[in-house]
Amino acid sequence: MSESKPNLLSLADIEATRRPFVEARPLPGPPYRDPRIFSAEIETLFLKMWLCVGHQSGLSSPGDYLMREVGDESVIVMRGDDGTIRAFHNVCRHRGTRLLDDAVGTVPACISCPYHSWAYGLDGKLLTAPLMDEVEGFDKTDYALCPVRCETWNGFVFISFDPDAVALVECFAGLPDFSRFGMERLELGARHEYEIAANWKLVCENYGECYHCPTNHPQLNPVSHFRSGGDSFEGDYFCGGPMRLNDGCVTMTVTGQTTRDPIEGLGPDDLRLVHYFNIYPAFLLSLHPDYVLTHTIWPGAADRSVIRCEWLFAPEAIDRSDFDPSDAVDFWHVTNEQDWAICERAQKGVQSRSYRPGRYQSLEKTIYFFDNWYLRFMETVLSGNCNGDNG
């Protein structure tokens, strides 16, 4: 009989977060700082669930690619000559060499391994392998790049390393219908990448509440009051809800104004709201009247994360001669930097062995949803009641 693994988190701490909201306490320190828990999260969450790599408009032409890293895995997501977006492990089939290094790029016609020049087509098939015709029985068709599951939802490209992962469409069951935003037709207007010294969960939790906004975001409250949030939504794979723009404001910019028209097809309510959702584990989706903003969070270590932001706009807005996304980009860049600073400060605090969580404030309901989703997927690992590497 195999023995249970030692607890990574006490049962008392788990139960404290799982109590009804009015009694519950946030997660304690170990999930934010323990490298063993971080490794378990990579295996249990990030290598098992669907991960958004970006919007399809960032892969507009054949050979355009995104490279993403999750734990020890690296994946290439690329548009082929036939227009299809596919994903492959970023590993040469000869001796395992990493093929591409840049997070974003374009290959002209094929992917060439820098070690021995094996070359792969945009569909992953092996095209050339120098001198391998001298190897008896070698067949190029046996050595295509290893595929990774790849699907799209409303124009966003998702990958999963798990062939048995729940269907992507099931992850969005119960999510409010946002088809009116036409996200699949939006186009990439700006992209920015941040590296921060904070755990990925701190970023997700910070995104899900505005209790911190009056103290940390002086430019935000005049545009959208921190108490303007509506009902919060919770599903098996998401949480979130809307916040209201202040009277006289039409979007989230420094002035609350813009020269862009609203996204075509939106109703009166959408012109007064911004919808904020966290698609688990770490895809943050913000729908504004005139643009859509996303944050994708990529954990690097227990205390380090990479965050990639994309601003998406209607094609008719981008086609205008006076198109300038800077009002939205600059507003959120300032907001992001403020958020990253407080997340890094929080990371330093939860490193202390003295840290004991307090209570959720009423504005932190979506953090409660997020924390309890996390425990539902991680409890077996954290409590030590598992066998094998992945529980």
Q: In angstroms, rounded to a whole number, what is the distance separating the alpha carbons of residues 152 and 149?
A: 10
Q: What are phi and psi of 184, to 5 degrees?
A: -70, -20
Q: Quick check: 388 pLDDT over 90?
A: no
Boundary of a domain, candidates 117, 133, 164: 164
Residues 158 and 209 in one domain: no
Which pLDDT value is given to residue 328?
Answer: 97
Instruction: Verify that 229 and 335 share a domain, yes or no.
Output: yes
Do 210 and 297 fall within a single domain? yes
Residue 368 near residue 362, CB atoms below 8 Å: no
Cα separation, 274 vs 281, in Å, equals 21
Residue type, 49: M
Within 10 Å of residue 130's Cβ, how many Cβ atoms?
A: 10
End-to-end, the C-alpha distance of the chain in Å comes to 15
Strand (E) or helix (H) holding 365: helix 365-382
- pLDDT tens track for 155-208: 999 999 999 999 999 999 889 999 999 999 999 999 999 999 999 999 999 999
Q: Is residue 169 part of a domain?
A: no
**Position 128 in a domain:** yes
Q: How far apart are CA 205 and CA 32, in angstroms?
A: 12
The SS3 assignment for 309 reads strand
Torsion of CA 381, 383, 385, 387, to 10 degrees: 30
Distance CA(70)–CA(138), nearest Å, equals: 32
Domain finish residue from 120, 135, 164: 164
Retrieve residue 200's tokens: 């990925």
Residue 46 predicted with pLDDT over 90: yes
Whether residues 236 and 121 fall in one domain: no
Nearest 10 degrees: CA dihedral of 120, 126, 132, 137? Answer: 170
Three-class SS state of 152: strand
Q: Name the band, by pLDDT with cuts 50, 70 and 90, for residue 1.
A: very low
Which residue blocks in 122-276 are alpha helix, DSSP H? 168-171, 200-207, 213-216
Q: What is the pLDDT of residue 230?
A: 83
Q: 174 is written with which tokens?
A: 């119960």
* Mean of per-residue pLDDT scores for the chain: 94
Give 250-304 pLDDT, tens digit per residue.
999 999 999 999 999 999 999 999 999 999 999 999 999 999 999 999 999 999 9
Residue 100 lies in a domain: yes
pLDDT of residue 146: 98
Question: Considering the domain boundaries, does residue 150 fall inside one?
Answer: yes
Judge whether 367 lies within some domain.
yes
Q: Is residue 140 part of a domain?
A: yes
What is the phi/psi pair of residue 383, to 5°? -85, -5
The DSSP element (H or E) to which 326 belongs, if any, is helix 326-350
Q: Which domain holds residue 114?
A: 51-164
With respect to residue 4, please indicate whether it lies within any of the assigned structural domains.
Answer: no
CATH code of the domain containing 135: 2.102.10.10
Domain at 297, CATH number: 3.90.380.10
Looking at the structure, tell me whether residues 129 and 199 fall in a common domain.
no
Considering the domain architecture, whether residues 256 and 289 belong to the same structural domain is answered as: yes
With contact defined as beta carbons under 8 Å apart, do 46 and 374 qualify? no
d(CA 141, CA 157): 27
β 85-89/73-79 pair status: antiparallel
* Residue 307, domain member (yes or no): yes
At 94, list the tokens.
């000869």
Last residue of a domain, one of 121, 137, 164: 164
Query: In which residue are the tokens 């813009």 written?
Result: 258
Query: Distance between CA atoms of 385 and 251, rounded to whole angstroms?
Result: 48
